[in-house]
Amino acid sequence: MEMSPNCQDSLQTPSVFSMAVRQLEIVADLIGLDDGVRRILSSCEKEFTVNFPVTMDDGTVKSFSAYRVHHNTTLGPAKGGLRFHPNVHLDETKALAMWMTWKCAIANIPYGGGKGGVTCEPNKLSSIELERLTRRLASEMSPIMGHNMDIPAPDVNTNEQIMSWIMDTVSSQIGRTSPSVVTGKPVAIGGTVGRKEATGKGVSIITKETLKNHKIPLKDCRIAIQGFGSVGYWSAKFLNDMGCKIIAVSNIHGAIFNNNGLDINSLGNHQLSNPNLATFPGVDTISNKELLSLHCDVLIPAALERQITAQNADQINARILVEAANGPTTPESDIILQEKGIHVIPDVVANSGGVIVSYFEWVQDLEHIFWDLEEVNSRLTTLIINSLSKVRNTAERYKTTLRTGALALAVERIAHGLALRGIFP
């Protein structure tokens, strides 16, 4: 997921993990969560930090810091993405792992929440340097990684190739090929069809379902998308193919707008050769702030966390906000959006397509039986719409927002699992 620069001042805003914990506290108070369970879920089971050297192409040696966090594994092994980004740090990784716990529980798939990342600038590394870094990382993380312990997947600035190197490194160390140690691999070595576009596919399914519930026709529905990386692009493409009008998108280089709708297929091809979207013909350049405040039916933040805050939430003019990114909306801005009557589909539901299809890949690897794209998409559609329905029912039961309803559903399922498993010894 690529994004426009984050304008948040870390000295003035709470940490990402404290934001995630605050969301949990709101739910815990609402459902009367047991204090012991509250303490368990407010912290992470494992926080793994490594610092390791990598030899650069010029012969120098650089040291990199990496993190892998398991938030809670009551319902299954840790599952979560691996990102390469200069702003990766432990606090962010803990928050993302917590959100993954909720996401997996809501989807009712047998995983706990995990997340990882390396603090680096991957665009400044050669392919050989990137491979060295990835393989050394896989080796360092191998004590907590495995198909029944922790299964990484692609995230920001990581892809099929990164997953291939991790799979090969772990397989070499254990002496046998283990495709199920990661998901998001190429199909040729145990990946699944539909995984690359799965998060965007899920966003489009959720958006379509939400528009239907609000009686907003797909044709010419106006949508703005912050972020035009993997998630943003595929969300835009699927929604465009459904008949929606994508009026604005952005990436790290800036944002563009066309009131009559953007040609998403041509824009995607353009970005491959020239990431500066402003050079695409027939568009107006706008700021990230202007994109977020556009009058539209649906706003889809598909960048990084904390993009909609108490400082800009009152400027949002969308009818529906679908969170394709993780944690794009702070708890304070949630209150403002609710007061404005903006319908928010929370990240733990909206962007769960990626982990759902990762689960499908993991199952196929373990069974050595693979599905075609039609089956993958059919199973994804059924599961993600069912998740949205259960979240709505939970929100109605507690007379609360979809976000709080979603987290309540997740916490109830995990608390039930904890009660059944008990506390060792």
For 2, phi then psi, to 5°, come to -100, 165
Nearest in space to 346 (alpha carbons), one of 102, 166, 168, 113: 102
Nearest in space to 286 (alpha carbons), one of 320, 323, 314, 249: 249
| Mean pLDDT for the stretch of residues 144-148 | 94
pTM of the model: 0.94
Q: Report residue 221's pLDDT band, with 50, 70 and 90 as the boundaries.
A: very high
Catalytic residue among 79, 94, 103, 115: 115
399 is catalytic: no
Q: Report residue 311's pLDDT band, with 50, 70 and 90 as the boundaries.
A: very high
pLDDT of residue 11: 42
Strand 112-119 and strand 78-85: the pairing is: parallel
Percent of the chain predicted with pLDDT > 90: 95
Q: Report residue 13's pLDDT band, with 50, 70 and 90 as the boundaries.
A: low
- In the chain, the domains with their CATH numbers are 44-189 (3.40.50.10860), 198-350 (3.40.50.720)
**138 pLDDT above the threshold of 80:** yes
Q: Report residue 5's pLDDT band, with 50, 70 and 90 as the boundaries.
A: very low
pLDDT of residue 304: 82
Give the DSSP H or E segment for 24.
helix 16-31
**180 pLDDT above the threshold of 90:** yes
| Mean pLDDT for the stretch of residues 173-199 | 97
Using one digit for the tens of pLDDT, what is the confidence trace for 285-307?
999 999 999 999 999 999 988 89
Max CA distance (Å), the chain: 66
pLDDT of residue 220: 81
**10 pLDDT above the threshold of 50:** no
Structure-block tokens of residue 11: 């000295």
Percent of the chain predicted with pLDDT > 70: 97
Q: Which amino acid is at 65?
A: S
Cα–Cα distance, 177 to 196 (Å, whole number): 22
**1 pLDDT above the threshold of 80:** no
5 secondary structure, DSSP code: P
| Mean pLDDT for the stretch of residues 22-42 | 96
Using one digit for the tens of pLDDT, what is the confidence trace for 71-97?
999 999 999 999 999 999 999 999 999
| Mean pLDDT for the stretch of residues 315-323 | 98
Q: Which residues pair with 82 in a beta bridge?
A: 116, 154
Q: Report residue 240's pLDDT band, with 50, 70 and 90 as the boundaries.
A: very high
Cα–Cα distance, 178 to 161 (Å, whole number): 16
**226 pLDDT above the threshold of 50:** yes
- Between 300 and 7, the more confident residue is 300
Helices (H), 79-126: 90-107
Using one digit for the tens of pLDDT, what is the confidence trace for 191-220?
999 999 999 999 999 999 999 999 999 998
Cα–Cα distance, 80 to 1 (Å, whole number): 15
Nearest in space to 333 (alpha carbons), one of 10, 17, 19: 19
Sign of the CA dihedral running 11, 16, 21, 24: positive
> Where does residue 13 rank: exposed (0-12), middle (13-18), buried (19+ CB within 10 A)?
middle
**341 pLDDT above the threshold of 80:** yes
Q: Provide the mean pLDDT of the chain.
A: 95
Using one digit for the tens of pLDDT, what is the confidence trace for 59-72?
999 999 999 999 99
Contact yes or no for 411/31 (Cβ under 8 A): yes
101 torsion bin: left (phi>0), alpha (psi -120 to 50), beta (else): alpha
| Mean pLDDT for the stretch of residues 269-295 | 95
- Between 1 and 271, the more confident residue is 271
Cα–Cα distance, 396 to 399 (Å, whole number): 5
**3 pLDDT above the threshold of 50:** no
